Structure 1
Amino acid sequence: MKKIVAAVLLFLVSVNAYANSDLKGEYKKLVDIFFDAVRVGHVGVVNEFLTNGFPVDQRNSKSYTPLMVAAYSGQTKMVDILVAGGADACATDKRGNTALMGALFKGELGIVKKLYDIECDPSATNNAGQTLDDFAEMFGKQEFLQSLGS
C-alpha cells in the first residue's frame, strides 16, 4: 500500500512539474506578445493586457520593463499609457539604466521631457557609475538635459 501511495505521489509531483513548466512557457509567450505590442505601439493590445491585470512593470528576458522598451522605441503614446498605469520610471535594467537613459541614448527628446519630470534619485548611478548627467554628457545631450532643469 505504501508503494502505491508513493507511486501516486510521485506521479502527481511529476504531472505538477510538467504543468508548471507548460504554464511558464505559455506565460513567456504572453510576455513576448505584450513587449512586441509595446515596441510597435499597439495601444489596444497593451490596454487589454493591463485591463486584465498584466503587471505594468513585468520584466522581459533582457531585464527591461515595458516603459524602457517604449521609451527606447520612441513610442510616446505608449510611454503615457504605461506611466498612467503606474509604471516605475525609476526602475533599472541589469546595467542600471533607466527608461529615461534609454530615451536619451536614442535621442527621443520628447520622451526624455516626459520622463524627466518624474522624480527619481538624481544621484543614482548605473553599473558603470554614471549619473543621468554623466550619461547625457557621454551622448552629447547634456545641454538639452540641463535645459529641462531650468
Structure 2
Amino acid sequence: MTGAPLNPEQQARVVAMAMDLAREGRTAELMEFLDHGLPVEVVDREGNTLLMLAAYHGHAETVDALVARGADVNARNDRDQSPVAGAIFKGEDDVVRALVAAGADLDAGTPTGRATASMFGREHLLRDVEP
C-alpha cells in the first residue's frame, strides 16, 4: 500500500478487512483498498484471493470488478480449489458465467469445476456457460 510502510500487524489487519469486503460484496470499498495499493492477488492465511472469496459468496459485481483489475481467475487456494469450482459448489450462476467469460479453466483445481458440477448435480451451469 502507498504511504507510510505498514508493520506486519497492520498489514494483516488491512488484508483481513479487504477479505471481509470481498466476502460481503462491498465492491466500492474494496476497490478503494486496491486504489491505495493493495495488490489484487493478495491472499489470506489459507491462500484465498479476494476473487476466490467474492466468487464463493456469490458477488458477481465484485468478481467483475476484480477481474477488471487483473485478478487471476484461475488462482487456486492452498487446498487447490479454484474460484469457479467454489461458485459452482454454491450454485452461483452469475458468478460462474462471469468467471468462465473471463477465462476460468473448468478443468483446474481439486476437484475441478467439472467434477464439482457433477458431484452436486449442477451440470446445467456448465451447459449454460460453455460454447
Shorter-chain TM range is 0.7 to 0.9
Paired residue type of 1:27: Q
TM-score scaled by length of structure 1: 0.77
Q: 1:73 aligns with which of 34, 43, 57?
A: 57
Aligned residues: percent identity? 34
1:55-93 CA-partner distances (Å, limit 9, x unpaired): 001001121000010011111111111010000000001
Q: Does 1:135 align with 2:119?
A: no
Q: Distance in 2 between matches of 1:73 and 1:89?
A: 15
When the two chains are superposed, the root-mean-square deviation of aligned CA atoms in Å is 1.9
Stretch of structure 1 that moved more, 115-124 or 90-99? 115-124
Structure with greater helix share of residues: 1
Gapped runs of 5+ residues in structure 1? 1-21
What number of residue pairs does the alignment pair up? 127
1:108-119 to 2 correspondences below 5 Å: 108-119=92-103
TM-score, with normalisation over the residues of structure 2?
0.87
Partner letter of residue 86 of structure 1? G
Q: Give the SS at the match of 1:93.
A: coil
The structure showing larger relative contact order (alpha-carbon pairs under 8 Å, at least 6 residues apart) is 2
Structure 1 counterpart of 2:3: none
The structure that has the greater radius of gyration is 1
Task: Please name the residue that 2:7 is paired with.
Answer: 23
